[in-house]
Amino acid sequence: MKTFIAAIAVCCGLALPAAAKTYELPDANPAVSVTLPGKWKPSTVEHGVEATSDDEETYVAVETATAKGVEALIDDDVQFLVDQGVTIKKASQQTHDTTINGMPCSFISWSGTDKDGPTSVTLVIFGVTDNLVLLMTAWSSPAGDKANGAELEKIVSSIKRR
């Protein structure tokens, strides 16, 4: 009977969603935090963290750079997307500025295509300090936008100065 109860407990535990995880960036001198869904299996990268939704329809990366290095980070991001087979339709570019959690933010979004068909790409640049920016990159299929839009909004809302 104890074995049966233990097996049920393990099965129930496997059904529970993974807890969200908060990351503090940059590693050496944290100035900002972001929370990613644990079920997206986030992992650290050179200047931040990345994750792919559990349905594999949405990718997100959050990285820091100096204000002077933001252009290089954006170029690297776009090159990463190109290397992944994403083609951005430059004429589809839309931009808007806002403030989130007291930080100025610039949104840049495009429609495009990847190996699976239509896709959307959004870059969000957060002004963390006078010298530090955070760049969030989101790449998603239309199905991913629909299924994971609320999670992406939670990720954006979770970005806070420390």
Is residue 118, in this structure, part of any structural domain at all?
A: yes
pTM of the predicted protein model: 0.86
Q: Which amino acid is at 106?
A: S
Is residue 95, in this structure, part of any structural domain at all?
A: yes
Q: Is the pLDDT of residue 14 over 60?
A: no
Is residue 129, in this structure, part of any structural domain at all?
A: yes
Mean pLDDT taken over the chain: 89
- 113-121: long-range pairs with CB below 8 Å, 24+: 113/86, 113/87, 113/89, 114/84, 114/85, 114/86, 114/87, 114/139, 114/141, 115/85, 116/141, 117/141, 118/142, 119/86, 120/145, 121/81, 121/86, 121/88
Is residue 4, in this structure, part of any structural domain at all?
A: no
Is residue 2, in this structure, part of any structural domain at all?
A: no
Is residue 62, in this structure, part of any structural domain at all?
A: yes
Query: So what's the pLDDT on residue 9?
Result: 38
CATH assignment of the domain containing 141: 3.40.1000.10
How large is the average pLDDT for residues 6-23?
57
Query: So what's the pLDDT on residue 4?
Result: 33
Is residue 42, in this structure, part of any structural domain at all?
A: yes
The domain of 134 spans 19-161
3-state SS, residue 10: helix
What are the CA-CA distances from residue 24 to residues 3, 41, 100, 134, 159 (Å)?
Answer: 41, 16, 17, 11, 10
Which DSSP string do the residues of 14-79 spell out, in sequence order?
Answer: HHSPPPPEEEEESSSS--EEEEE-GGG--EEETTEEEEE-TTSSEEEEEEEEEGGGHHHHHHHHHH
> Whole-angstrom Cα distance, residue 146 to residue 141?
9
In which band, very low, low, confident or very high, does the pLDDT at 28 lie, cut at 50, 70 and 90?
confident
> Whole-angstrom Cα distance, residue 16 to residue 29?
33
Query: So what's the pLDDT on residue 70?
Result: 85
**Which of 3-17, 67-81, 95-109 has the largest mean confidence?**
95-109
Is residue 3, in this structure, part of any structural domain at all?
A: no
Tens of pLDDT, residue by residue over 126-149, are 999 999 999 999 999 999 999 999
Q: Is the pLDDT of residue 100 over 60?
A: yes
Query: So what's the pLDDT on residue 19?
Result: 87
Q: How many domains does the chain have?
A: 1
Tens of pLDDT, residue by residue over 50-97, are 999 999 999 999 999 998 988 888 888 889 999 999 999 999 999 999
In which band, very low, low, confident or very high, does the pLDDT at 12 lie, cut at 50, 70 and 90?
very low
In which band, very low, low, confident or very high, does the pLDDT at 17 lie, cut at 50, 70 and 90?
low
